[in-house]
Structure 1
């Protein structure tokens, strides 16, 4: 059916150009754009959309129960699922620099594509955040006005949370707990992603992989999300964070500081996921991947003559 659809680009030269790395970059951009549209859109719904539309007790009532958190968790799960369905057939749908780096370290992903992939992911995340802001700008402004926290005040944390992450107050401004949280969350993410795509293991049949991957992100959010917003994706955090800074949120966005709460937080959702992603893929390969490789090697028939030579040596 897809072969019957005529290409929008005219002539063989345009199609040839997008058949390789350039096409993969376009897919990563669009996949990450969709990721942020649904993910940040779900947060915008919980933080500003529902309160401002009169569907909660007051115009600033949000996050008063687990239902608000579930809305966000399922929003991000669906976001990842649909992003992978869109871009998976072209680029593998990394839509996450931590995935790209981890695959380059352990999955023979070409190192010369790491930079272009990450650039496309950050750009897609920035663009997605811009569209979410355009859609929810009125709701965001209404919330900030009702809460008396204009963007430029440096205290508009609730509406900033639509775009990027920040640590829970119980960390008391320390970077150690949030950093560990990001390492652990992203390690789990990558461990489970490589388990899902490993055909030697119990990989999902057909095209169920994106659905399972979305559930993985949902599981991380349900288990670890409150600590630091479970960015587990440098592009998902930095692209929208950079947009929020341009849009007027100031230091709460970049460098990620609120006096007395936290300071220079922006690097933690970048470095933590990179470290955690590599750890996760190495852990999977050490505990599971190598075992599967060993079993496959044992199951392969030996070349002719080797079995007899081996049995003779054992007998002697």
Structure 2
């Protein structure tokens, strides 16, 4: 299958490596990546993110939220005014917008962005998503970037409160 040569943040690298589970999943849905490869891609993404969280961990204050909360260093959490369901819906919409726009930016069969501008446009897309929806939840827009570090914090001492 064809893989988009993206150099934008949290999406794909210039070598075609997927960095976002949502992009990997949609690649399978569209037939651009074989379904049999999806578990390996997601396992690699999750392992890398988990190890990255472990690499920057230092013992100290293990508070999830509030003025002294430190769990937000590793994963994103909804703003105090957001409910858990509201945060989930916010992330779902934001991630869907990311995927839809990335597909449009790299679709050579449908007026794709000018060659060489894709990385810039993808970066601007992430900035715009952050500016418009990021205050609500921190705009993880990448299951591979949020869930594994959250698992790490649960194991490292913050406890199950990281999932609430």
Shorter chain as denominator, the TM-score bin is: 0.7 to 0.9
Give the Cα–Cα distance (whole angstroms) in 2 for the partners of residues 226 and 155 of structure 1.
15
Give the Cα–Cα distance (whole angstroms) in 2 for the partners of residues 203 and 188 of structure 1.
17
How far did residue 99 of structure 1 move?
0.8
How far did residue 213 of structure 1 move?
1.7
How far did residue 202 of structure 1 move?
3.1
- Check 1:154–1:182 CA distance in 2 against 1; reply closer, same or farther (3 A cut): closer
- Check 1:179–1:158 CA distance in 2 against 1; reply closer, same or farther (3 A cut): same
Structure 2 stretches of 5 or more lacking a match? Answer: 1-6
2:103 maps to which of 169, 194, 199:
194
Which residues in structure 2 correspond to 1:7-156 (within 5 Å)? 80=9, 84=12, 87-89=13-15, 92-133=16-57, 137=58, 141=60, 150-151=61-62, 155=65
TM-score normalised according to structure 2 size: 0.82
Greater relative contact order structure (CA < 8 Å, 6+ sep): 2
Give the Cα–Cα distance (whole angstroms) in 2 for the partners of residues 238 and 244 of structure 1.
10
Aligned length: 156
Give the Cα–Cα distance (whole angstroms) in 1 for the partners of residues 114 and 128 of structure 2.
17
| Greater Rg by CA | 1
Pick the structure with more helix per residue: 1
TM-score normalised according to structure 1 size: 0.45
1:227-281 per-residue CA deviation (whole Å, 9 max, x = no partner) reads: 112111111001111121222211232xx1xxxxxx3xxxxxxxxxxxxxxxxxx
1:169-214 per-residue CA deviation (whole Å, 9 max, x = no partner) reads: 213xx333112201210111001111111113132313x4233222
Structure 1 stretches of 5 or more lacking a match? Answer: 1-77, 142-149, 257-262, 264-316
How far did residue 107 of structure 1 move?
4.0
1:240 maps to which of 145, 149, 158:
149
How far did residue 154 of structure 1 move?
5.4
Structure 1 residue 165 corresponds to structure 2 residue 65: no
